[in-house]
Amino acid sequence: MDLRRRLLLSDLLLLCVPPAATAVAAALVLGIASLAAGTRIRYADFEKAVRIRVELFSAAATVWGESPDTVARQEFGSFLETRLEGLRAEVYVVKDGAVVYATEGAGTMDGALPYPGAGEGPAISERRLSIGGVPYLLQTQRLAFEDGSTGAVAILIPTDARAGAAEAVAGSIPIAFVFASLATVLLHSVRMKRRIADPLVALNAAIAAISEGNLADEVVEGGDEEIRQVQRSLERLRRTLQENVRTRGRLDDNRKFLISSISHDLKTPLASIRGYVEGLIDGVADTPERRRKYLGTILAKTQGADRLIDDLVYYSRLELDQVPYDFEPTDPAAWLAAFVEENREGYARDGMALSFEDRRSERSPVLLDRERMKRVFQNLFENARKYRRGETGAVAVAVRDAGGRVLCEVRDEGAGIPKESLPYVFDRFYRADASRRQADGAGLGLAIAKQVVEDHRGEIWVRSAEGEGTTFVVALPAAPDGTEDGRA
């Protein structure tokens, strides 16, 4: 239940429950009182009980407003008798244990009249008694006369079991209302604490923990829907911050790893260049032919270092999403065929034969950044050239369909990759074995290829075994229906 509805319902309960509970309690007391009285209590009985209570209160207020000596006079007694005539009340005044005024009816009961003790009990008291078999309600109000004597004014009102029961029921109603109100408020407070206050306290504690950098504890949902929405938002924020912290940690680790790898991979060519330069300075290369050889080696090492730095910069830009992409709908078979043809002659001079085959049943285009994807396949071709088993080698490129994707396969006949190294070949700076570690490059080619393919929403994986060659598969999603472009 949402917070607004809960608060509205709570207000309604506070308004409706106490009167309803009071009515139920009054009905129960009425039933019990009727059983005790042996007869059904009627509305007239309640009316009589209320009238008795009002008249007694009014009489007590009147007596309170007069001096005790005035109350003891016959005129005042007659005034009270007349005022209470409708209730058939009897009035008498006692002073120092003797009756100084009594109505006619009270005079006939002289022997049975109770005499309030001097200064005993509260200022005003009530009790029920029976005189001559007739039940009465007696109200006494103590008096202190000017001559120092004490006494009381007493009012006797004849009553019956029904009136007494009705008065008991009427007296229980405010008590029941008070208890029902207290119980409702208590229940309301407990529910509000459990559904609103406790979740808000927990939410505040979670916010304080996050502000102090504690991102490990999950924000637990509880309470009404509005509070749950805030808790869910805070939990999403916590997870985002937690992921950002992890990402920052990985980036810090990556930066340290990059610095270490750059230092290692640049140290080797620089040491080689230094050695050849020192040889030239010291005159070790004492013939034109040897000098040309030294200079050629220095040039090759410089170009290798340049490629290493270029790969490092490009990979760093890929990781930081700083490489812009220009995707175009492209026929992958036509594009790859043109790319293979473009590189065929250059690799042929180095003893590598490139071939292409289109195995597709449908001509589904894909969205490519053609320049970025060229780098992927260039790296795969170079990988095949570096790790061929002899002076010559072959690379077979094929394209085929596979359930809404286009698979581009690059298969070579090289040395292959050990099984235990396959899960790591796309990690940066990774080379599977000693022969690969001695090859040119920084070990970033496949890491770059993987990043570019994933930026195309594709996948790349490898199948290989030692001595049986290697097959790289680039899987790209087919472009949506209606996309047509056959340009290579």
394/131 Cα distance (integer angstroms): 131
| Phi-psi label, residue 213: left if phi above 0, alpha if psi -120 to 50, beta otherwise | left
Burial of 388 (0-12, 13-18, 19+ CB in 10 A): buried
With beta carbons less than 8 A apart as the criterion, state whether 352 and 393 touch.
Answer: yes
Torsion sign (Cα): 24, 29, 32, 37: negative
Using 50 as the pLDDT threshold, list the residues of the chain that sit under it: 118-119, 433-439, 486-488
The total number of residues shown for the chain amounts to 488
The structural domains of the chain, with segments of one domain joined by +, span: 1-40+161-214, 67-159, 225-318, 324-477
User: At 378, which amino acid appears?
Assistant: Q
Q: Please, where are the H alpha helices in 65-160?
A: 68-71, 74-83, 104-108
Widest CA span in the chain? 161
Q: Which two structure tokens, joined as six digits, stand for 281?
A: 């300075």
Residue for token pair 């405010």: 174
- pLDDT in the model for residue 186: 78
What is the secondary structure of 50-74 as a DSSP string?
Answer: HHHHHHHHHHHHHHHTS-HHHHTSH
Integer-rounded Cα radius of gyration of the chain: 53
- pLDDT in the model for residue 320: 67
- pLDDT in the model for residue 409: 95
- CATH number of the structural domain 67-159: 3.30.450.20
With beta carbons less than 8 A apart as the criterion, state whether 136 and 128 touch.
Answer: yes
Instruction: State pLDDT tens for residues 286-312.
Output: 788 888 888 888 887 787 777 777 767
Number of helices (H) and strands (E) in the chain: give both, helices first.
13, 12
Residue for token pair 């003893």: 351
Q: Please, where are the H alpha helices in 101-224?
A: 104-108, 161-192, 198-211
- At residue 400, φ and ψ (nearest 5 deg) are -150, 165
* Half-sphere exposure (Cβ direction) of 368: Cα atoms closer than 13 Å: 28
Q: Which of the four CATH numbers 3.40.50.10190, 3.30.830.10, 1.10.287.130, 1.10.10.10 does domain 225-318 have? A: 1.10.287.130
324-477, superfamily in CATH? Histidine kinase-like ATPase, C-terminal domain (3.30.565.10)
- pLDDT in the model for residue 111: 55
Nearest to 332 by CA among 275, 373, 274, 287: 373
Burial of 89 (0-12, 13-18, 19+ CB in 10 A): buried
- pLDDT in the model for residue 232: 85
Beta strands (DSSP E) in 286-432 are 328-330, 352-358, 366-368, 393-401, 405-412
Residue 150 host element (H or E): strand 150-158
127/108 Cα distance (integer angstroms): 21
Name 152's bridge partners: 94, 142
Nearest to 116 by CA among 75, 86, 143, 152: 152
- pLDDT in the model for residue 437: 42
Q: Which two structure tokens, joined as six digits, stand for 273?
A: 């260049």
How far is residue 271 from each of residues 17, 266, 302, 398, measured CA to CA in Å? 91, 8, 11, 42
Residue for token pair 């007659």: 78
Collapsed DSSP state (helix, strand, coil) of residue 45: helix
Q: Please, where are the H alpha helices in 320-361?
A: 332-349
Nearest to 334 by CA among 309, 365, 310: 365
